[in-house]
């Protein structure tokens, strides 16, 4: 049972705690629950019993370290010194995202005061960052997530997905091999590139191109987000990217963005950047951010299996063998 389901099973009725907290132990020394004001919280026992308490609060979340509290666990009261991070949002979606991210962030690190503060700082930045995503950005994300789902079993390509948006390439297989994903809803396979994304003197670059067709019965962006959440459930950096979209974009909009899956599969091709029409020279000195459109309709593409073999033989893991 995942952390959200566990929370819903124990605290779905919304009854506030009669103690400082009512908790359930989700993992050893990692508790989830509610406080007396019905705020969702995560609690970790403190090893610094004689350290000074720390408190800090923002609009969305708060942190308290080395606090002496009385909490209820399995129907019994306990007194202990703990670290607490609370979600102060009243939005159900944000509460659940808070639980998911807290679990992964705290699970990956230690449970010291310093680690809990670092987790709080990551969550604070995440919840404070509000941005409306354009349709083009969502279409681009759709193609990236579709790529992850398509190549998960054969390549575990999610390992190479960049942890931050707007990096030079979408997937970094190794220091040399890069994959850029492009998508268009037009009938002509035209994509916009930065000049450096096609220069192959330094990198061995591949371009995965999608033609997409809107379809009310097609695969939605919301479904892809949910699938990729499961695939990357234990990778906090990738999970932050997924949940950032779920937090900032209305669920109805994510469910409305749908494309015909059969058309997507039939019109997905991989190209070598070396074969794509482009300006051949390097960017001149004093010139920056050169961009242009390239038409790939008459460019020869390679088979998926060939790309998979190249990626596997050049992946970081293969190079370390």
pLDDT in tens, 261-307: 999 999 999 999 999 998 876 666 666 678 899 999 999 999 999 99
| Backbone phi, psi, residue 302, to 5° | -110, 160
Strand pairing of 268-272 and 40-45? unpaired
**In a 3-state reduction of DSSP, which class is residue 143?**
helix
Q: Which two tokens stand for residue 186?
A: 């037009």
Position 321 scores a pLDDT of 46
How many other β-carbons are positioned within 10 Å of the β-carbon of residue 177? 21
pLDDT at 105 over 50: yes
Over residues 4-24, the pLDDT tens digits come to 999 999 987 666 667 899 999
What pLDDT, in 10s, does the model give residues 144-190? Answer: 999 999 999 999 999 999 987 767 899 999 999 999 999 999 999 99
Output the pLDDT for position 318.
58
Quote the strand ranges of the chain, DSSP E. Answer: 21-27, 30-35, 40-45, 54-57, 61-73, 76-87, 171-172, 177-184, 190-194, 204-211, 214-220, 258-259, 268-272, 291-295
Quote the pTM value: 0.88
Average pLDDT over the chain reads 90
**Cα distance between residue 101 and residue 99, in whole Å:** 6
Give ∠ CA 207-208-209 in degrees, rounded to 5.
Answer: 105
| Percentage, residues of the chain above pLDDT 90 | 72
Q: Is the pLDDT of residue 124 over 50?
A: yes
* Residues 19-33, mean pLDDT to the nearest whole number: 92
169/165 Cα distance (integer angstroms): 9
């Amino acid at each position: 049972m995942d952390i959200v389901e566990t929370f819903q099973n124990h605290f779905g009725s919304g009854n506030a705690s009669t103690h400082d907290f009512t908790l359930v132990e989700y993992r050893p020394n990692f508790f989830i629950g509610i406080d007396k004001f019905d705020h969702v919280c995560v609690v970790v026992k403190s090893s610094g019993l004689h350290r000074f308490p720390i408190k800090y609060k923002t609009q969305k979340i708060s942190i308290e370290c080395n606090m002496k509290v009385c909490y209820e666990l399995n129907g019994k009261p306990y007194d202990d010194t703990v670290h607490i991070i609370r979600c102060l949002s009243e939005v159900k979606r944000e509460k659940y995202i808070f639980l998911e991210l807290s679990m992964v962030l705290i699970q990956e690190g230690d449970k010291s005061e310093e680690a809990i503060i670092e987790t709080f700082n990551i969550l604070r930045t995440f919840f404070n960052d509000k941005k409306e995503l354009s349709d083009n950005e969502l279409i681009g994300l759709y193609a990236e997530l579709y790529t992850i789902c398509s190549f998960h079993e054969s390549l575990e390509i999610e390992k190479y997905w960049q942890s931050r948006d707007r990096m030079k390439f979408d997937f970094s297989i190794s220091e040399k091999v890069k994959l850029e994903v492009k998508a268009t809803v037009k009938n002509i396979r035209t994509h916009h590139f930065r000049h450096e994304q096609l220069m192959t003197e330094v990198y061995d670059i591949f371009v995965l191109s999608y033609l997409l067709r809107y379809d009310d019965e097609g695969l939605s962006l919301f479904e892809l987000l949910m699938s990729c959440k499961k695939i990357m459930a234990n990778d906090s950096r990738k999970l932050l990217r997924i949940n950032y979209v779920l937090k900032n974009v209305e669920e109805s909009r994510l469910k409305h963005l749908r494309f015909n899956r059969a058309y997507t599969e039939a019109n997905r091709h991989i190209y070598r950047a070396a074969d794509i029409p482009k300006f051949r020279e390097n960017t001149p000195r004093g010139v920056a951010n050169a961009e242009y459109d390239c038409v790939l309709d008459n460019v020869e593409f390679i088979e998926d299996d060939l790309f998979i073999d190249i990626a596997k033989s050049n992946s970081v893991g293969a190079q370390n063998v």
